[in-house]
């Protein structure tokens, strides 16, 4: 089993190859959660995620003969980019097997690091099966994303840095998929500060670690924005570490992860992918577990598709009442549109989009239907805009 010395050796091995990312106190998120929140920005790695740590350490441990054979890995994206980058730095030929659902941005970036990318399967398990077959056929070294001692030791350097650079933290919250990062962080954190609370954070549709710890059969599946931790099969090596040391694994709602992405953009001025924001999502979903404590949250990745990020932020604005979509039944006569625009503007609202329909109005040939999208400051301001319109018109929120 791994020890702190293994993690420290990994830190020495990857120094200069992996970014020592900052850990910073965030006042806005601390006010929101009731905890003293410190964010570890591992989305600032060259490939945008913590996976560089494990990949760099594992590849550095290869013998000359193994380097000549080349490597292969399976991944939903971040491990793929990490293996591809560090294989290129070492002059090692790399093949990466990725599930078909992998976001295009991760596929493109992996190929940009010189690796051959093969898209196979609907799940990580199917991609892994194919990768093992190729490894055997082509005599390549298989670099597992989490069930590997060298990878786990490398991932543990994240917590090592948090404990060295941060304050006297009471708890760590670590996004959890296959368990490699959580296991490595447990090794480092519990050795440096016995008794520190270390929490894993999983998305509700892929709560494999929580299910196994509870002695239940694993049942996972479905769409999730946290595809980087959408794992069915927990690594046996990390599981043995986690079950002996973890404080708890928090199962986090999908909506909380979307909220966390928005909070990180607005309050920390940083972009996180779904998996990377799951640690903060767990604190938002379970504030009573962390209130009044110094909490280190790992922001583990920032590789999110631009379209998905845009949709998440717009959905957050809608939920917060800062973006209104209103449907109005209006008389079809001159000056009505100007009157509506005046009421919205006079109330301090900003019109984003307008759709005016005469031919398909549902009531009368002398009526029209109007859809208008309006930007407001908050829910109270949005309600005041609607109230101003309702003095004259029939208004329905869409």
Q: What is the pLDDT of residues 116-142, one digit of tens each?
A: 999 999 877 788 899 999 999 999 999
What's the pLDDT at 331?
86
Please check the confidence at residue 105 and state whether its pLDDT lies above 80: no
- Tokens representing 100 are 């078909």
pTM of the model: 0.89
Residue 125 or 386, more confident: 386
Q: Which of 227, 177, 230 shows the shortest CA–CA distance to 200? A: 177
| pLDDT tens string 22-77 | 999 999 999 999 999 999 999 999 999 999 999 999 999 999 999 999 999 998 77
* pLDDT value for 39: 98
Query: How many whole angstroms separate alpha carbon 349 and alpha carbon 53?
Result: 47
Distance CA 261, CA 244 (A): 31
pLDDT at 364: 63
Instruction: Give me the pLDDT at residue 125, please.
Output: 79
Q: What is the mean pLDDT of residues 177-202?
A: 97
User: Which percentage of the chain shows pLDDT scores above 90?
Assistant: 81
Residue 362 confidence class, pLDDT cut points 50, 70, 90: low
pLDDT given for residue 256 in this prediction: 97
User: Ranked by mean pLDDT, which of 98-102, 212-216, 319-323 comes out on top?
Assistant: 212-216
Report pLDDT for 75: 86
Quick one: pLDDT at residue 365? 66
């Amino acid at each position: 089993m791994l020890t702190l010395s293994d993690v420290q050796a990994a830190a020495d091995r990857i120094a200069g190859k992996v970014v020592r990312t900052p850990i910073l106190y965030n006042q806005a998120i601390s006010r929101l959660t009731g905890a003293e929140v410190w964010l570890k920005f591992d989305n600032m790695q060259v490939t945008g995620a913590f996976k560089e740590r494990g990949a760099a350490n594992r590849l550095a441990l290869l013998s000359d003969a193994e380097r000549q054979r080349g490597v292969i890995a399976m991944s939903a994206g971040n491990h793929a980019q990490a293996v591809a980058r560090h294989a290129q730095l070492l002059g090692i030929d790399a093949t990466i097997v990725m599930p078909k659902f992998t976001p295009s941005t991760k596929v493109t970036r992996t190929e940009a690091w010189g690796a051959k990318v093969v898209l196979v399967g609907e799940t990580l398990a199917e991609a892994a099966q194919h990768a093992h077959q190729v490894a055997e056929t082509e005599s390549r070294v298989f670099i597992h994303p989490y069930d590997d001692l060298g990878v786990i030791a490398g991932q543990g350097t994240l917590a090592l840095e948090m404990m060295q650079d941060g304050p006297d933290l009471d708890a760590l919250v670590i996004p959890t998929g296959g368990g490699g990062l959580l296991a490595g962080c447990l090794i480092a954190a519990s050795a440096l500060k016995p008794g520190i609370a270390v929490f894993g954070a999983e998305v509700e549709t892929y709560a494999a670690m929580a299910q196994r710890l509870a002695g239940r059969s694993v049942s996972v599946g479905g769409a999730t924005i946290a595809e980087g931790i959408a794992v069915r099969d927990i690594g046996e090596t990390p599981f043995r570490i986690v079950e002996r040391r973890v404080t708890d694994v928090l199962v986090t709602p999908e909506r909380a992860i979307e909220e966390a992405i928005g909070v990180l953009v607005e309050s920390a001025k940083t972009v996180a992918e779904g998996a990377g924001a799951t640690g903060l999502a767990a604190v938002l979903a379970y504030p009573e577990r962390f209130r009044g404590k110094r909490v280190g949250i790992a922001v583990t990745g920032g590789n999110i598709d631009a379209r998905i990020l845009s949709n998440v932020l717009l959905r957050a604005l809608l939920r917060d009442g800062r973006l209104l979509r209103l449907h109005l039944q209006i008389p079809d006569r001159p000056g009505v549109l100007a009157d509506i625009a005046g009421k919205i503007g006079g109330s301090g609202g900003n019109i984003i989009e307008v759709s005016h329909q005469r031919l398909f109005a549902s009531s009368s040939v002398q009526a029209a239907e109007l859809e208008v999208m309006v930007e407001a400051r908050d829910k109270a301001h949005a309600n005041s805009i609607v109230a101003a319109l309702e003095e004259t018109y029939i208004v329905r929120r869409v």
